[in-house]
Chain A
Amino acid sequence: MNFVEGVRIALGAIRANVLRSFLTLLGIIIGICAIISVIAIINGLNLYVAENLSNFGPGVFVINKFGIISNEEDFLAAIRRNKDLKVEDAHAIAAACDLADAVAVEVHSTQNLKRGSEEVKDVDIGGIEPSIVDIEPYEVEEGRNIAEDENARAATVCFIGQDIVTNLFGTVDPIGKRMRIRNQEFEVVGTAKKRGSVFGFSRDNFVKVPFNTFRKSFGSRRSVNISVKAGDGVPLEEAMDQARVVLRSRHHLGYGETDDFGITTSEGVNDLWKSLTATIFLVAIFVVGISLVVGGIVIMNIMLVSVVERTREIGVRKAVGARNRDIRTQFLIESVVLSCVGGAIGVSAAFVVTWLIKTYSPLPASFPLWAPVLAFGICAIIGVFFGVQPARKAARLNPIDALRSE
């Protein structure tokens, strides 16, 4: 009794009872489809986030007061000991780090905008050093970026995102027009290209003003973010280490003390995101796992029924020379094949689901090749695990009793 023979018998048994087999497999089908779809969605989310969430590209890191903090304890510790970063820190890094190509600071505040009777609330105001465009390019739609001399003399000029254009200026061309940010008049010198939204949060709702102007108008006590771009071909880690050394010495940190500032890379953002999706994934696995176990139990049930229905067949096979292990193998192969057929249907359904998501949502959903392979592996394990008992029952049948059964 070889494997191919067993598979053929199993497929025959499934074909003989198509509807029943399908209903039996529903749990497995749904489980496998769900698990692969979840993988595809999370994959898509990760891609989406990698493309959209972090503004800065490879070779760039941002130093700020807190960095990425993912638990409360670290956050409380950081609040107590982390120092505000100053623009002087950025200048020191620029002077001391030969591996850094460009260094620039940005500082943020949320303010309301006004123009005549129009008002837009809670807009992100970024005070930037103009050289930041070398690190995080703002693509210009109309007008121009903020110029170096405008920062030097703290000119009241601004560069605005598309949401501001729409909400504050409407159909009016904003270039050269004035608007108020907290009682201070600013002249619009340029508008940014539309950047779209991520998870419903617009990335066009911003105003950039010169860093020095920001300090004058909104105060100079905020901690700044320092963006650093490593030179071409320089490993990011080495540039980060240089900057870290500079800051640690400026902050008088001793050997063995932890950093009192945070360094964020796009990789770091993605890692944080991935640790979030990993949690979602685990929960999904757990739920799907329950469905698969139920699916397995249903398979076991139907195999037990099948053994009873085919008692006579088992008797005939034994009468012509099948050993117990031949019968056991046959029924075990049958439950594995049954389960794997369910897996195949589940994978096909997941293909369709993934395609639908990819086509009708912004998520670039896709699943890696290992997902269906894993799914088949799981199905095979389910088939063996839940097939052992019915197979053993079939193998133990006494040949005469089996032959006499109706």
Chain B
Amino acid sequence: MPTAADTPHAGRPRSDELLIEIVDMWKTYVMGATEVHALRGVDLSVPQGEYVAIMGPSGSGKSTLMNLMGCLDSPTRGSYMLHGKLVSALDEDELARIRNEEIGFVFQTFNLLARASALKNVELPLVYAGVPPDERRARAEEALRQVDLLERASHRPNELSGGQRQRVAIARALVTRPAILLADEPTGNLDSVTSREIMGLLHTLHGLGNTIILVTHEHDIAEHAHRIVSIRDGRIASDAKVEHPTLATAGT
């Protein structure tokens, strides 16, 4: 298990500081002559170290919000401060750097590179961060150890189970020691046992100080988080603390 010294956020801002501050964010898609408002003025703040679930039915705008928070997209209007930086004003290269350094993505469909080993997949963000190969390897191995998959480092994704693939993806998300872990339906493609395993891992990672934002449409998955933000029709419908979050054990 990692020790306190290994935790990703030593030296980061204190936990009561805001990591994400979204003010009046709009996202409008123009489809032919009609405008579709995916987000209609969202305000959202996430402090350092929080475990938030964003819930909503499909089409509610939760994926759009997630993409904007992940700097994969830029808002039509509104401001987005991430880790003290005004992200909504950055250009493509700067957004790429933010994605690389500040954000770790976990996708529903894992999105691992099929031809690369687990280790190479985990190394990928470090390649773009310009980390030299030796250090890259060491850090990727450390991240794989954190998700308890070090012994599978040389396996390719098609040689791993769904849960193992998602753990590789989580290791990849963690390897750059990002400010936030953004998990988009991380259990959507997994059975209930494996889902519990992944939720247990997220719980552990949160315990180590990681900020986690979980996007899901399943209520019992959202219940693992400490705060649930519900989105409907591009607006925040409710935002509440979870009194007794479900405790999943890592099951490993």
Q: Does A403 contact B (CB under 8 A)?
A: yes
Contacts A317-B124, A320-B99 given: A312-B92 contact, CB under 8 Å?
Answer: no
Q: Does A1 contact B (CB under 8 A)?
A: yes
Tell me how far the C-beta of A322 lies from the nearest C-beta in chain B, rounded to whole angstroms: 5
Partner of A318, one of B96, B101, B127: B96
In the bound complex, CA of A313 to CA of B115 (Å): 10
Q: Does A5 contact B (CB under 8 A)?
A: yes
In the bound complex, CA of A321 to CA of B172 (Å): 12
Q: Does A50 contact B (CB under 8 A)?
A: no
Contacts A399-B72, A400-B67 given: A320-B92 contact, CB under 8 Å?
Answer: no
Closest to A402 in B: B72
**Which of B72, B73, B96, B176 lies at the interface centre, i.e. has the most chain A CB atoms within 10 A of its CB?**
B96
Interface size, chain B (Cβ < 8 Å): 25
Contacts A323-B92, A399-B72 given: A317-B99 contact, CB under 8 Å?
Answer: no
Contacts of A268 in B (CB 8 A): none
Contacts of B107 in A (CB 8 A): 403
User: What sequence of 0s and 1s flags, for each residue 333-373 of chain A, a beta carbon within 8 Å of any chain B beta carbon?
Assistant: 00000000000000000000000000000000000000000
Contacts of B112 in A (CB 8 A): 316
Q: Does B105 contact A (CB under 8 A)?
A: yes
Q: Does B6 contact A (CB under 8 A)?
A: no
Contacts of B99 in A (CB 8 A): 318-321, 399
Contacts A5-B127, A326-B128, A403-B107 given: A319-B72 contact, CB under 8 Å?
Answer: yes
Tell me how far the C-beta of B177 lies from the nearest C-beta in chain A, rounded to whole angstroms: 13
Contacts A1-B127, A5-B127, A400-B73 given: A321-B111 contact, CB under 8 Å?
Answer: no
Partner of B115, one of A16, A317, A320: A16
Q: Does B164 contact A (CB under 8 A)?
A: no
Closest to A396 in B: B92
CB distance B70 to A319 under 8 Å? yes
Contacts of A13 in B (CB 8 A): 115
Which 3 residue pairs of A and B lie closest in terms of their CB atoms, listed nearest first? A321-B100, A321-B128, A320-B125
CB distance B72 to A1 under 8 Å? no
Contacts of B124 in A (CB 8 A): 316-317, 320
CB distance A321 to B73 under 8 Å? no
User: What sequence of 0s and 1s flags, for each residue 59-91 of chain A, a beta carbon within 8 Å of any chain B beta carbon?
Assistant: 000000000000000000000000000000000
Contacts A16-B115, A400-B67, A400-B72 given: A320-B97 contact, CB under 8 Å?
Answer: no
Which of B's residues lie within 8 Å of A, judged by CB?
67, 70, 72-73, 92-93, 96-97, 99-101, 105, 107, 111-113, 115-116, 124-125, 127-129, 172, 176
Question: Which residues between 289 and 332 of chain A lie within 8 Å of chain B, taking CB atoms?
Answer: 312-313, 315-326
Q: Does A12 contact B (CB under 8 A)?
A: yes
In the bound complex, CA of A1 to CA of B116 (Å): 16
**Which of A320, A322, A400 lies at the interface centre, i.e. has the most chain B CB atoms within 10 A of its CB?**
A320
- The A contact surface, by secondary structure, is helix
Which of A's residues lie within 8 Å of B, judged by CB?
1, 5, 12-13, 16, 312-313, 315-326, 399-400, 403
Tell me how far the C-beta of B180 lies from the nearest C-beta in chain A, rounded to whole angstroms: 13
CB distance A320 to B72 under 8 Å? no
Contacts of A400 in B (CB 8 A): 67, 72-73
**Which of A321, A325, A403 lies at the interface centre, i.e. has the most chain B CB atoms within 10 A of its CB?**
A321
Closest to A319 in B: B105
CB distance B96 to A323 under 8 Å? yes
Tell me how far the C-beta of A310 lies from the nearest C-beta in chain B, rounded to whole angstroms: 9
In the bound complex, CA of A116 to CA of B82 (Å): 113
Contacts A318-B99, A403-B107 given: A324-B92 contact, CB under 8 Å?
Answer: yes
Contacts of A12 in B (CB 8 A): 115-116
Tell me how far the C-beta of A57 lies from the nearest C-beta in chain B, rounded to whole angstroms: 61
CB distance B73 to A324 under 8 Å? no
30 A–B contact pairs at CB < 8 A?
Answer: A1-B128, A5-B127, A12-B115, A12-B116, A16-B115, A312-B111, A315-B111, A316-B111, A316-B112, A317-B128, A318-B72, A318-B96, A319-B70, A319-B72, A320-B100, A320-B105, A320-B128, A321-B96, A321-B99, A321-B100, A322-B96, A323-B92, A323-B96, A324-B92, A324-B96, A399-B72, A400-B73, A403-B72, A403-B107, A403-B111
In the bound complex, CA of A1 to CA of B73 (Å): 23
Contacts of A1 in B (CB 8 A): 127-128
Partner of A319, one of B92, B111, B129: B111
In the bound complex, CA of A322 to CA of B129 (Å): 8
Contacts of B67 in A (CB 8 A): 400
In the bound complex, CA of A386 to CA of B98 (Å): 32
Closest to B64 in A: A400
Contacts of B101 in A (CB 8 A): 321
Tell me how far the C-beta of B186 lies from the nearest C-beta in chain A, rounded to whole angstroms: 14
Tell me how far the C-beta of A400 lies from the nearest C-beta in chain B, rounded to whole angstroms: 5
In the bound complex, CA of A258 to CA of B17 (Å): 97
Contacts of A317 in B (CB 8 A): 124, 128
**Which of A12, A315, A323 lies at the interface centre, i.e. has the most chain B CB atoms within 10 A of its CB?**
A323
In the bound complex, CA of A394 to CA of B96 (Å): 15
Contacts of A323 in B (CB 8 A): 92-93, 96-97, 128
Contacts of A321 in B (CB 8 A): 96-97, 99-101, 125, 128-129, 176
In the bound complex, CA of A317 to CA of B128 (Å): 9
Closest to A5 in B: B127
Tell me how far the C-beta of A7 lies from the nearest C-beta in chain B, rounded to whole angstroms: 13
CB distance B128 to A313 under 8 Å? no
Contacts A316-B111, A319-B99, A403-B107 given: A324-B128 contact, CB under 8 Å?
Answer: no
Contacts of A312 in B (CB 8 A): 111
Contacts of B129 in A (CB 8 A): 321
Closest to A406 in B: B109
CB distance B113 to A322 under 8 Å? no
